[in-house]
Structure 1
Amino acid sequence: MTYCVALALDAGIVAMSDTRTNAGVDNISTYRKMHTWEVPGERALVLMTAGNLATTQAVVSLLEERMKAPEDRDPSILKAPSMFQVATIIGNTLKEVIASQSPAGPDADAFGATLILAGQIAGGPMRLFMVYPEGNFIEAGEDTPFFQIGETKYGRPILVRALEPDMSFADAVKLMLVSFDSTIKANLSVDAPLDVQILANDTLRLGKSWRVAADDPYFRLISDGWGEALKQAFAALPDFDIDNVAETPAPKI
């Protein structure tokens, strides 16, 4: 499984992905799920992938193949004039790969994949998209300022409650680490190391990027601190008065 998140902030976008891929508890591998491209001063792009590993690797390989030789650059995400057209190219490529690899029938869904695309091209704003297996996509906005793919449910509550658009990149990374810690503790199919990429508005280049190891001191501090903070918050809630609960008879069947 996978967990990838991208947050849209006033200052830009922060993306984070795990690296665990497994086909059972005894077959665990590490693969990078975050891919980046840039033409400094002209565009910076980040793509995160979740789903069938063969499908996502084929999509990334095909995108990169179309960047190399001039005769193969149509369509190329390094030549598309807008982020909308980059999302269209990636959506069409994903749809093409799934159609070529997946059989008809009940096993077709096993070849699916979902992608998160973030980036900015000169002359346009920073944009964030989620691309579906069918090739279509949606864009983040004020009402939906972040996207998740993969194992999303465990890490979503903290994002919904705490994300603010005026957050600093540092606070956003801290928030995302809490989200990932919650997911890792609840699901063995998600784990560190975690890849992080920052895209600052109007720089038109990739920002800081790094990998967070499972034993990273700050990550361990966040994990232990969040667990203790939850215990203290729970203890501080008003006690439930079980002695004064009005009993309700069980319904007759």
Structure 2
Amino acid sequence: MSLTFEERRLTILNHLELEGKVQVPHMAELLSVSTETVRRDLDRLEKEGKLRKVYGGAVKMRMDRVEPPFQKRVEMMRPEKRAIGKLAASLVEDGETIMLDNGTTTIEIIPFLSDKPNVTLIINSVPMLMLAMETFQGRILFTGGEVNRECRAAMGPLADQMLDQFKVNKAFISGGGVSVTDGITDFHMEEAMVARKMMQRAEETILVVDHSKFGMSTFARVARLKDISMLVTDPGCSKEWIETFEGLGIEVRISE
């Protein structure tokens, strides 16, 4: 019995949510329909504003090709990021050393560390350094290195060499996108390299992202999904994504 459009629509959108993209031949095989049927379905879904057609398939409608400026990103999904930051900070235990990569979600962890003076914080972000100097009572280590004006963070060989000197308890990593096929990605190769180094130097890696990042792929790969220990996200995260992470043996924490 052939599937109705609504049944095909659900399958296509679920696949798009997890992968960030769909390919016509693969969906035709998965749905047991012709490639022409899939193309017509994609046409209808594009008119509904659910996806954007590209050669050979479609991608998520909100998939960004250029990262917005830092200050604009700070305001995007701000309540969700703040709630994620609060929950993430609660995972930091007295006496631990932690690393935070340069992100507008990870920066929201810092205000909730104000009651943890025995924690050591290692960062490469200039905005994080300024915030930590105002609100954080513990020890602060800044990686140094060449400061990228666009990203507002220290990067390059000197930052990499300094990070190599440490072994820490937890690394909190953000990202520009999270997909099943491409893993955790970032818009900038240099930022992806710093995040990857932080993961290598940590006993445990915690991914902190809001639900808008799921199903997206950006320029530079940070890591595979299975390389993280825990996901901290907001209630907007879909059931399919929660099941995907839990299926990989990754603990999922949802903020209030």
Q: TM-score surpassing 0.5? A: no
Structure of higher RCO (CA pairs closer than 8 Å, 6+ residues apart) = 1
Q: TM-score by structure 1 length?
A: 0.27
Going by fraction, where is helix more abundant, 1 or 2?
2
Q: TM-score by structure 2 length?
A: 0.27
